[in-house]
Amino acid sequence: MAHVITEPCIGTKDTACVEVCPVDCIHPTKKESSYGTHQQLYIDPDTCIDCGLCVDECPVQAIFPQDDVPVEWRKYIQINVDHFKK
């Protein structure tokens, strides 16, 4: 089960979660040219190992295990998936 970045990340894009991810599954990073064109960060569900390190690092509490995403933010599960299908 992957983790999912949800609505509170929009406009914040704090990259503390990127720094602690052991498998580099959170994008775009500040080093990527697409960083400025996205409103939020995304977790690649195919790469995420469900370690949970990113959850505690997020200052706006935007990251949840997929099964625990609040109902009002469930659409972000697909939004994260779709980001990596491009």
Q: Which residues of the chain have pLDDT under 70?
A: 86
Q: Identify the pLDDT of residue 51.
A: 97
Instruction: Walk me through the domains of the chain, giving residue ranges and CATH numbers.
Output: 3-83 (3.30.70.20)
Q: Identify the pLDDT of residue 86.
A: 67
Burial 19-46 (b: 16+ CB within 10 A, else e): ebbeeebbbbeeeeeeeeeeebbbbbbe
Give the DSSP letter of residue 36: G
